[in-house]
Amino acid sequence: METRAYEIFSHINREISVRVMPGHFATKHSHVSHCIDMTKVKSDLNSAKAAAKIFADSFSGTPVDTVISLERMKMVGAFLADNLAHSGINLRQDIAVITPEISEDKLLLRDNFLPYVKDKNVLILTASATTGKTVNSAIRGIRYYGGNAVGAATVFGGEFTCDVPVVKLLGVGDISGYSSYAPVDCPLCRSGVKVDAVVNSYGYSKII
């Protein structure tokens, strides 16, 4: 599987890249034709900084009190908060970065995190948003807890309906032949094509 992998770069900043593997992959919400490995953006200092700077520039005119970091994006989230607090409307603002629990696709806030969301302007940060389910679920959760969702930032994103601004560094159009299907409608499964790996925010596990 790895022998088919190749790297693609963000057209905004070449410090930001992801590793792409074509095949048949199962995610939490869908079956996809390509595995998008975002380990570098999540883990490498320079890549995380570059991603955070682009996101911060995109939301420099948006009031932000809290960044909700999902899918192991907390390093990017910390740089994002720092960038936001050094310019624009959030200059010198003390911006929190939190990682709430996700239970059955729903945002779950313990009592100690509630003050960071209730009556606050909250920006969602995630690694991938192809179907929009994670982002829209997070928006509903923020509103349920009395917060104001002001936008979403994602490294890799698809086309979906959302009532807040969404900024993405790479999109499905950057990957030739990229397809995503509901598991019950997956043509690869119907054709008997074996699933190569199961994918989640931690990475992928090959199915032998």
4/96: higher pLDDT: 96
Chain-wide mean pLDDT for the chain? Answer: 94
For the segment 68-97, what is each residue's pLDDT rounded down to a tens digit?
999 999 999 999 999 999 989 999 999 999
Q: Report the run of H or E that residue 187 belongs to, with start and end.
A: helix 187-190
pLDDT of 135 > 90? The answer is yes
For the segment 147-202, what is each residue's pLDDT rounded down to a tens digit?
999 999 999 998 899 999 999 999 999 999 999 999 999 999 999 999 999 998 88
For the segment 10-26, what is each residue's pLDDT rounded down to a tens digit?
988 989 999 999 999 99
| pLDDT-above-90 percentage for the chain | 84
Q: Token pair for residue 26?
A: 């199962």
Taking the model in full, what pTM does it have? Answer: 0.92
The C-alpha atoms of residue 157 and residue 36 are separated, in whole angstroms, by 11
CB of 144 within 8 A of CB of 100? no
pLDDT score at 29: 84
The number of beta carbons lying within 10 Å of the beta carbon of residue 10 is 21
pLDDT score at 201: 87
Q: Report the run of H or E that residue 58 belongs to, with start and end.
A: helix 45-58
Q: Report the run of H or E that residue 123 belongs to, with start and end.
A: strand 121-129
